[in-house]
Chains A and B, each alone.
Chain A
Amino acid sequence: MPTITIDGRSIEAAAGAMLLPVAIENGIYIPHYCWHPKLSIDGSCRMCQVEVEGSPKLVIACNMPIRDGLVVRTNTPAVEKARRGVMELLLVNHPLDCPICDKAGECSLQDYSYAYGSRVARTREPRRKLQKRKEIGPRMILDQERCILCRRCVRFCREITGTNELGVFNMGDRSVLDAMDDRPLANDYSICTADICPVGALESKDFHHKLRIWFLKKTESVCPSCSNGCNITVQHYRERVWRLMPRRNDAVNETWMCDHGRLTYQHVNSPDRLRQPLLRRAGQLEPCEWDEALSVVATQLRAVAHAGAAGIGAVASPHLTNEEHYRFAQLLQVLGVTNVDVAVVLGPSDALLIKAEKAANARGARDMGLQPAAGGLGLPAMLEAAASGQIRALYVCGADLWDTADRQLLERALARLECLIVQDIVRTPLAERAHVVLPSLTFAEKAGTFTNVAGRVQRLQLAVTPPDGQLSDGEIFSRLLGLLAEGRPSFEPHAVFEEIAQAVPAYAGLTYERIGPLGHALSAGTAGQASVGGATASV
C-alpha cells in the first residue's frame, strides 16, 4: 500500500484511490463542491486545490491519484489564497438570497464564504439576472442565479438514474443549468439533486419555504415506504416531522433515497390521526377510554377462542417493528390462533432502490412467525373462511388488507364477521367497518427495528414524542397479553429485542449495540425460520 504524507501526517492508502477521499477519511478536511463520494470526478469547482511537493502549480485533490511518497500540504498560504480566489469568483454572480434560501444553514457556499470569502465585493458590474423559481419538475424548482455550475446534479441524472434530464447550456460566463426541453426533472429520485446541490439552486417543492433548517432536530431512522429500508434521518421540530433525508449507508442506499419515500412522512403530521380508541355502540363508532376498549377486545377474543381458536383470524401489518410483531405473535399464541398472515401492498419496483413490497417490515413479520402456522389459513383462505362464517373474529393491523384483498370477498367477509378489531393511525374505510378501532403510532413515534427485504436488521429511533395517552402497537399487544394471560409484560423495545434474540434463531446474539447505526445483515442460512416461544412456523 502506498504511503503518503498529508500536512506532515503519514497515511496509508489503497493504490488508485484519489487524494480527496483519502484525506477526508483520515480526518483532514479539504473544502470541495463538485466532488461527491458516489459520483464521477468532474474537477470543475477548483475548490479542493492543494500543494503537492514536486508539482509547479497547485493540483486539485479530487483528481490526484495516490502514489507512494506523495507529500501534500493543505493549509499553506498559497492554498489559502487559491481558495479565496475561487470563492471570490463563485460569489461574483451569486445573489444575496441567504435569508430566503432553503439551503441557508447547510450550504457549503455559505460555510466556505465564512471561512474564505471576502466581506465586500470588488465588482461594480450588476449581478447576472437569470431565471428564478423555475419549475423544472413536479417536485423540484430551480434557481439559476444561485447555481455555481458544479454539475453534481447533471452527473447524478446521468450516472445514477440514467435519465439525463439536466444539462449545463451555453458556454463560459453564460453557462446556465437547466432541464432539457423535452424532459422535466421527473425521475423517481429527483429530490436527491436538492440534497447534493451544494447551494440552494435546486430545491424540493415539498420543503420550499417551510422551515429554516437550523430549527430541525435530526434522528437516525429507517424509511418506512418500501422493503428496501433506506437509512434516513428524520428531521423534526416542535413534534412535527418536516422532512426525511437520506443517510449514507453503502450496504443499503449509498446516499440516495426515492421521492416517494421522502414524502411519506406526511401521514405522521396528519390532522386526521386517531388519538382515542373507538368503540361501536348502537351502530356508531364512539370514542372511549383505553381500558374499556382493551377489555372489550380481550373479552371478545377470549369468547371466540373458547369456541375454538380457528374462529379467529389475524392480519399483521408490515409497518410495525420486529418487537411489536414479536408481541403480536405471543398474543396470538396465547389465544392459540393459527390463522395469521401479513397483508403487503405490492407496487412498482426498479433496479436502484425501490422494492415491490410497499412496507418496511414484511420480512420481519414473517421472521417473527406471523405467517400461516401448521394447519392455519393464509390471507385469501382466511377471508373465504370469514365469508362462510368459520372465522368469527378478525384482528387487523394496518390498512394494507383493504388495498390488497379482493374487494368483493372482503365485503362478504366483513358483513359476516362478529368482531372486527382494526388497529391503525387514521380512520380508514376498513376502520369505519370495525367494531373496535385502536389508534396506533407511526415509524417516527417509536423505537424498534425493521428487517429489510435482504435480511438487514436496522434500528429506528423515536423522533417525535406522541401525545400523552397514546399507546404504540407494542404497548397495545402487551396490555392485551396482560389481560389474556398471567402477568403483565411491559413493552421496552430494548428488552423485547433481547427476547427476540433468544427466541428467533436468525436473530440470535443480536443486540441494539451490535446492530449499530448502519444495521446488521442476518446470515442467509438462518433467515426465514422463526419460532416464537416454542411454536415453530414453517415457511
Chain B
Amino acid sequence: MATRVVPVVRPRPMRLSWWVSARALLIGFAVTNRHFWRNLWGFIRRKPTVFTVQYPEQRLPFANAFRGMPVLVQMDNGKERCVACGLCEWACPTDCITIFPAETADEIERYPAVFDINMSRCMYCGLCEEACPEEAIVMSQNVEIAAFSRSGTLWHKDDLLVPVAKLEPRLQHLRRGYDR
C-alpha cells in the first residue's frame, strides 16, 4: 500500500480568546478586591456593608418549603399524633426509620412504642412527610444534627417530638401543597 501524506491543520494560537479570558480574570480580581476593601471599611466603621451572617450567633429564617430533619408532631395533650402505621418506614428510601407499634386504651388505639430515626442516614427527601396519612411526621427547620458519636445520631421518639404550635407554618404549607 502506498504511503499517503495527510496534511494536518494545526489550530492557530488563540490570541483573541487569551485576551478575553485574561480580561475576565482581571474583572474577577477587581470584584474580590472591591469586596475586601468595602468589608474592611465596614468592619472599621462597625457597620457591615456586605451580606455575611455570623452563624451560629446569628440565624436566618428558612422558607416554609425548606426541608430540615423530620420531626414528630406532638399534640396538645403531650402525645404524638403518629399511629405507627408504618407508611413512612416503607416510603423511606434510606431505611432510616424504625417503628414498633403498641396498643393503648385511648381513643386512638395504636401508638409507636419505639420511633427511631437514624439521622446519619436521613437524606431530607421528605417522602416520610408525604406518605404520612396523619400529618404526624413533618420536615422541620432544624439542620443541626451533629453528634460526637454514632449513637448520638440515632434520634428516639422523645427527641423527635415537637409541639404542634411550632410546626404550624409547615403544616399550613403542606396543606396548601397537597390541596388538603
Contacts and interface: CB of A to CB of B under 8 A. Distances in A.
B102 A99 contact: no
Nearest to B113: A209
Nearest to A212: B86
Interface string A34-74: 00000000000000000000000000000000000000000
A98 B86 CA distance: 11
B127 to A, nearest CB: 15
Given A133-B109, A209-B101, A210-B101, A99 B90 contact: no
A209 B134 contact: no
Interface string B15-49: 00000000000000000000000000000000000
Contacts of B102: 209
B134 A99 contact: yes
B165 interface: no
Contact of A215 (B83, B86, B134): B86
A508 interface: no
Contacts of A208: 103
B110 A100 contact: yes
B87 interface: yes
Nearest to A100: B110
B75 interface: no
B168 to A, nearest CB: 22
Interface size class of B (residues with CB under 8 A): 10 to 19
B133 A99 contact: yes
A100 B109 contact: yes
A214 interface: yes
A31 B128 CA distance: 32
Interface in B42-73: none
B155 to A, nearest CB: 20
A212 B103 contact: no
A132 B108 CA distance: 11
Contact of B110 (A209, A211, A214): A209
Contact of B83 (A100, A132, A210, A211): A100
A89 to B, nearest CB: 24
Interface in A198-256: 208-212, 214-215
B103 A99 contact: no
Contacts of B101: 209-211
Nearest to A104: B85
Interface in B65-105: 83-87, 89-90, 101-103
Contact of B103 (A209, A211, A214): A209
Contacts of B89: 212, 215
Contacts of A98: 85, 133
Given A99-B133, A99-B134, A212 B110 contact: no
B109 A212 contact: no
Q: Which of A104, A133, A209 has the most CB of B within 10 A?
A: A209
Contacts of A214: 86, 90
A144 to B, nearest CB: 14
A209 B105 CA distance: 13
B134 to A, nearest CB: 6
B145 to A, nearest CB: 25
Contacts of A209: 84, 101-103, 109-110
B90 A212 contact: yes
A212 B90 CA distance: 9
Interface in A75-112: 98-100, 104
B118 to A, nearest CB: 15
A104 B85 CA distance: 9
B27 to A, nearest CB: 58
A99 B90 CA distance: 13
Interface string A352-393: 000000000000000000000000000000000000000000
A132 B84 CA distance: 19
A134 to B, nearest CB: 12
B101 to A, nearest CB: 5
Contacts of A99: 83, 85, 87, 133-134
Contacts of A100: 83-85, 108-110
Nearest to B85: A99
A531 B166 CA distance: 77
A207 to B, nearest CB: 11
Interface string A145-178: 0000000000000000000000000000000000
Contacts of A215: 86, 89-90
A287 B90 CA distance: 40
Contacts of A212: 85-86, 89-90
Nearest to B110: A100
A417 to B, nearest CB: 45
A100 B109 CA distance: 8
A215 B134 CA distance: 20
A104 B101 CA distance: 15
Contacts of B103: 208-209
A244 B166 CA distance: 44
Contacts of A133: 109
Q: Which of A98, A133, A212 has the most CB of B within 10 A?
A: A212
17 contacts: A98-B85, A98-B133, A99-B83, A99-B134, A100-B108, A100-B109, A104-B85, A132-B109, A211-B86, A211-B101, A212-B85, A212-B86, A212-B90, A214-B86, A214-B90, A215-B86, A215-B90
Interface of A: 98-100, 104, 132-133, 208-212, 214-215
Given A209-B110, A214-B90, 7 more contacts: A100-B83, A100-B108, A209-B109, A210-B101, A212-B90, A214-B86, A215-B86
Q: Give 5 closest A-B pairs by Cβ, nearest first.
A: A99-B85, A212-B86, A100-B110, A209-B101, A209-B103
